[in-house]
Structure 1
């Protein structure tokens, strides 16, 4: 599908708004702490200073934490930010599956259990915020054969679970290496997929996913290629993505005619000590600077932010791609 001409070239920020856990340890149902949410207003203020709304994709521990709900209600007073859903199966009722790496991908669960978890999260968000969410991201990008159909049946209009150019097959998850950055109709009702943006930069960027895959079969091949400026796979996130690479990716994406650049980060990164990406005050300063520099370049290129509701409005008028 094509974005309407009036939409122009835009960018949007989707925040995986979630509980804290040690990323190096096995997943556990007990990991439901949300203390890092106290730092979210300060991070949101940085976005608001640049007139950038965010879509907060919240999961079960967040929506069932009254303090977190109140924090989110306050940040949504900017008039553009909104709430979506993010489903971490291991902390999302009903708890009928074994907690293990394979079952951390929603799409690996039975159809009935997926439907029940989607319903539990969606209903809880509607009860907390008075508005039924219509945008979803499955935690760990975990779509399966039945998931999109179930999301459409639950009333969702947008899924953002696909991460262009990435594969989680080695962890029993999905493979999105063949997925591009363009939004497309899923074939399930009105549900549209908007993949997270991945950009290839460097002198050999035209090699794209094929060359990146080949380099992965060479010891340290991808790292060497990136350091030499030959090829880098760049996701639009400050988490483990150097700012200079990200800025070049923005330029490349704009030059290649991408119409919607999808940025993201995990909410616990708004405070030091909760994710591997922001360990201390220096990391947090660098994290905030990353966003400042990205917003400055986007403004220079004339790429305006798009809110949750502006995306929905544009999709309603989007023609199918021939």
Structure 2
């Protein structure tokens, strides 16, 4: 079966990634650059999923991006949901002041009621602004928790992109996805498509084994680190943020060879503008980011038997196990 590519943009506010989580960080000033990049991707034949958080969907800049996307050809843009709990009402007072703890930056660590209320507010706002109710969800910081599935189902969601394959965020009070590879599956009425990430060794047999056993050699202990170095095991996320074109192509080819036909190319919307994320700090970074994004899409579109898609298309795939 041919490979299928979704481009998923984490459409969010600008903030200092190393400076904590503050309710006051709500600026969206990268809309002009983002519109240009979306247009360039569409010109290459891509489809784009705009997973939007509350500051983005309520800001002047975000509204301009949404207005542009609503004018694009039918089916090429999907409006999805991206929950950053530290900037999304309702807020708890006085415990939830301007700064939010690292633990509560993950939506899945909130109380069930607060996670539901925040997601409902955001879902309703996206429907109000775009004219369509979102069915695809992407938790901020990939932070789904034990209550997230039931909450998503109750609000009409059908697809979740929050799993980050091979990743473990438990050292920073986040979720542990180290048991997941990139396989599409359905559970509890929700179809899950992990954000594409791959682990590759210089030995092909080991790459295949790691794909089938994602939790092995994935730890932070000294033994795991040494074994990864000896066997040349590297991890790549399918993203132009910090990954060069050759490694993106290597990651995509690896996933296709492993039988995973659905791929997600993802990035954070502030990376479209110079100085807004750690990945784009210089003029050269900006040129590289744009070039890698567009060159990868162009490469993919020239491969045999490929398709582009938006994750909402997966909503009907309820029988996947």
Q: Which residue of 1 aligns with 2:21?
A: 27
Superposed CA deviations along residues 138-189 of structure 1, whole A, max 9, x for unmatched, are: 10011111011101110001111110100110111100000121111121xx
TM-score normalised by L of structure 1: 0.89
Counterpart residue number, 1:147: 148
Q: What is the correspondence of 1:1-322 to structure 2 with a 5 Å cutoff?
A: 8-79=2-73, 80-96=76-92, 98=96, 99-187=100-188, 190-204=189-203, 205-206=207-208, 208=210, 209=214, 212-213=217-218, 217=222, 221=226, 224=229, 230-302=232-304, 304-308=306-310, 311-316=311-316, 319-321=319-321
Could you give the per-residue CA deviations for residues 42-73 of structure 1, whole angstroms, max 9, x where no partner exists? 11122012110110000000111133213222
SS at match of 2:21: coil
SS of 2:67's partner is: helix
Question: Aligned with 1:35: secondary structure?
Answer: coil
Change (3 A) 1:93 1:253: same
Contact 2:30/2:61 (8 A) holds in 1: no
Give 1:295 shift. Answer: 1.9
Q: Secondary structure at the match of 1:258?
A: coil
Alpha-carbon displacement from aligned partner over 1:180-203 (angstroms, at most 9, x marks no partner): 21111121xx32111111112231
Contact persistence 2:48–2:77 (CA under 8 A):
yes
Partner secondary structure for residue 78 of structure 1 = coil
Change (3 A) 1:175 1:62: same
The Cα of 1:33 is off from its aligned counterpart by 0.4
Q: Does the 8 A contact of 2:280 with 2:286 survive in 1?
A: yes
Counterpart contact for 1:11–1:303, Cα < 8 Å: no
TM-score calculated relative to the size of structure 2? 0.89
SS of residue in 1 equivalent to 2:266: strand
Change (3 A) 1:223 1:293: farther
What CA distance in whole angstroms lies between the structure 1 residues aligned with 2:236 and 2:174? 21
- Matches of 1:284 and 1:206, distance apart in 2: 34
Distance 1:259 1:270, change over 3 A: same
Answer whether contact 2:28 2:56 (CA < 8 A) is retained.
yes
RMSD value over aligned CA atoms? 2.1
Which segments of 5 or more consecutive residues in structure 2 lack a partner in the other structure?
A: none
Query: Offset at 1:318?
Result: 6.2
CA distance in 2, matches of 1:35, 1:265: 17
* Residue deviations 1:226-249 (CA, integer Å, cap 9, x gap): xxx822111100112232221111
Displacement, 1:298? 1.4
Separation of aligned partners in 1, 2:125 and 2:315: 26
Once the two structures are TM-superposed, the CA of residue 26 in structure 1 deviates from its matched residue by: 1.1
* Residue 303 to residue 272, structure 1, CA distance change in 2 (3 Å): farther
Residues 205-224 of structure 1 deviation map (CA, whole Å, 9 limit, x = unaligned) = 24524554257525974885
